[in-house]
Structure 1
């Protein structure tokens, strides 16, 4: 409740929180739009593979021209300007940087950048959920050992769910289910970058004019992004993922406490304490009026008559028995809220959600019958989609995580709907060694 006050203090002291932003895409640009409007924050540098792309995105968000004029980090620190560079490791390692925002969306790059930041004593805000699900608990341990913060990104749904769960647990209630909303139909699992715009009611030309990335939008549509984010929520909260993946039940906010309660109480859950994603559409494609497509929720239990009476007295949304209640937030601001994570890490040394355990994984599932010799194209592609399952099951089956299902070739055929395993692959090309090493380290995290 006091982050803004602490930022004002740093501003008054002439010591703003200095931030390095790695990746100037959509999420990074949303944060960059707000940063100059936030007292006590200074974007010291922005790194991306293309400086012209940085400049184009900065122009789109009305970035102050004078803020991008620094030739190096030292000058930026002295003048309050911002250094634009293609050298992400140099920016991360600069001694003036306090917090690193990793927003590339590339899992392998995210792991590399986060490790470099931790080794250089920087706090890390991991926008890159793909990297976090691949090996976030390992990074969290390394950060703790180094005395720095490793944090989920506030404004993204996993961090907001973690906040709701923490609020409810701190109040002494048991969490029955928690998660997010999305637009989902079973047919979406087969979507490809070539067909994705049909589901959104757009032509390819319209999408191109709007600067919309077909792979990114396909990941949201085909269930992969939901699987990744559900795994991140499970790893941060300890809530259990469904044994065979998310069910995506259709539900509006008024239905949450009746639907997301145990089966013996009339709901759909096999047990209490799970993560689930609800759909904004009924299975026949109709939009649910009070849907939670952009939001997050938690369902919790009033286990005494007194608690249930209090629920009724204060208008808490409950199931028909009054025992199970729901709290939700209908939308999230994405990168526009990311400053909360930056300030929390730097000023309170607290993460806004953190992957503390390996409870869940997001694994590759064949979208169609895949042939020997085919190359997988990863998240948002045409060959596989990502399903959230328990980490114990993923480990036992040798499942290929969706974050490592790109640019690898099949040694044997995989039928549609089947889980892709490491045994199905030909030897991996060079470049994934660090990610594989960190994945192996997850085994020790899951045993603690």
Structure 2
């Protein structure tokens, strides 16, 4: 609880934590807006393939034009911010402490992470797509180098991990952990053409705001939920339901009732797993007091005495009084990211990091796919990403969603079927493909802790 004090000390000493941002999209812009308000943080540089976007993000976040530099040396000594196209030059810049990777591109994320290891930079990985593809391997490489690899606070996985850690540190067995979302089964077939109606945003407003339809579609079609829950399962050592996420409808008041073990009437596959709850009933009716934007953990009283304490202190429980929940109704995305940056630089501690390979996210056909079609990846027209136990994914030879972009099918795949790796030709020399293969060799899936 002393990160702010530590940042103030660095500011007073004239040694702010220096940060480099890769990817000037919405998440990055939100971080920039708050970094400018935080003593002890200095945004040394922003890297984006489109420098105009980077300058636009800085302007929107309140960075005056005269506070931008042409090179990193000037930025370091004058307390200004440089803008570049080349992320590698930012990672290599003298005096840089922490890199924030916010591209959302798994291949780029892996490449940038390994560059951070080479140059001795801590990494806050907003790129949960890269984390789901081979995060355990990357975290291991950072640990061996004495560096921090961290999930991004403000994004839901890191906040869920914080709740899990709170429960376990308090001696409360974790029964389930996850988040809320807007879900109906038909959403799995959503495409960038249908996303705005399902998301509840006017198409014209989305276009004016520069929102990326394919990226937002990954939230609606279930892919992002799978990716984020894989990150949580791997970081918090939780189990993954064998049939994928069930998305049970649930209000915040019913968390302890719905998200409890099946032997006592709950909707879980077993205790100690991830799950996502829906803000909609299956017939489309909106649930009162839903958790669409929030996160939760359910936990059990390990003794009669603890159960009595639950009752005495007014916890909302299931009918038995044994199971309860703690939830947070909102997450602030990039506005909270400074917590991860400060924790990595000042405490040398991540706000969540993968340590096991429990969960994987695989490509599933949105419609009947024909040989010769080209897959367009997460949030596109062809496939969505389903969460699976990693052991099941590997046994089935499933294609990870993080690799399902730009590949041509060699065989038909029916709607609803998992796309097999044999249906595409993967280039073993490709960096992301090679890193994934390396991770699979290094991390044999095992049973998650209860």
Within 1, Cα distance between the matches of 2:149 and 2:373?
A: 37
Check whether the contact 1:183–1:293 (CA below 8 A) recurs between aligned residues: yes
For the residue of structure 2 that corresponds to 1:388, the secondary structure is strand
8 Å contact from structure 2 (residues 358, 445) kept in 1: no
CA RMSD of aligned residues (A): 1.2
**Distance of 2:46 and 2:278 partners within structure 1:** 36
Q: 2 CA distance for matches of 1:76 and 1:350? A: 27
User: What TM-score comes out, normalization by structure 1 length?
Assistant: 0.97
Q: Deviations over 1:301-359 (max 9, x none)?
A: 00211001100111112111100010000000000000000000000000000011111
SS of residue matched to 1:362? strand
State the Cα deviation string for residues 390-433 of structure 1 (Å, max 9, x = none). 110111111111111000010000000000011111x2368x62
Question: Which residue is equivalent to 2:436?
Answer: 439
| Pairs aligned (count) | 445
1:300 and 1:138 map into 2 onto residues whose CA distance is 30
Contact 2:359 2:389 in 1 (8 A): yes
2:34 — aligned with what?
34
Per-residue CA deviations over 1:172-227 (Å, capped at 9, x if unaligned) read 11100000000000010000001112213445333212222111111110000001
Q: For residue 172 of structure 2, what is the aligned residue in structure 1?
A: 173
Aligned partners of 1:338 and 1:14: how far apart in 2? 22
1:257–1:319 CA contact under 8 A, matched in 2 = yes
Equivalence for 1:326: 325
* In 2, Cα distance between equivalents of 1:351 and 1:446: 23
1:357-385 per-residue CA deviation (whole Å, 9 max, x = no partner) reads 11100110000000010011110101000
Question: Contact between 2:196 and 2:202, CA under 8 Å: does it hold in 1?
Answer: yes
Question: 2 CA distance for matches of 1:142 and 1:100?
Answer: 16
The Cα shift of 1:119 comes to: 1.3
SS in 2 for 1:140: helix
The answer for unaligned runs of 5 or more in structure 1 is: none
Alignment of 1:59 onto 2:59: yes
Asked whether the equivalents of residues 256 and 325 of structure 2 are also in contact (C-alpha less than 8 Å), the reply is yes
Question: Taking structure 2 as the reference length, what is the TM-score of the superposition?
Answer: 0.97
CA distance, structure 2, for counterparts of residue 32 and residue 270 of structure 1: 41
Cα drift, residue 40 of structure 1:
0.2
User: Are the counterparts in 1 of residues 359 and 390 from structure 2 also a CA contact under 8 Å?
Assistant: yes
CA–CA distance in structure 2, aligned partners of residues 82 and 206 of structure 1: 31
* Counterpart contact for 1:176–1:272, Cα < 8 Å: yes
| Distance of 2:444 and 2:289 partners within structure 1 | 38
Distance 2:204 2:265 in 1: 47
Measured in 1, the distance between the counterparts of 2:355 and 2:167 equals: 19
Q: 1:317, 1:334 → 2: CA distance?
A: 28
Partner of 1:280: 279
Query: Gapped runs of 5+ residues in structure 2?
Result: none
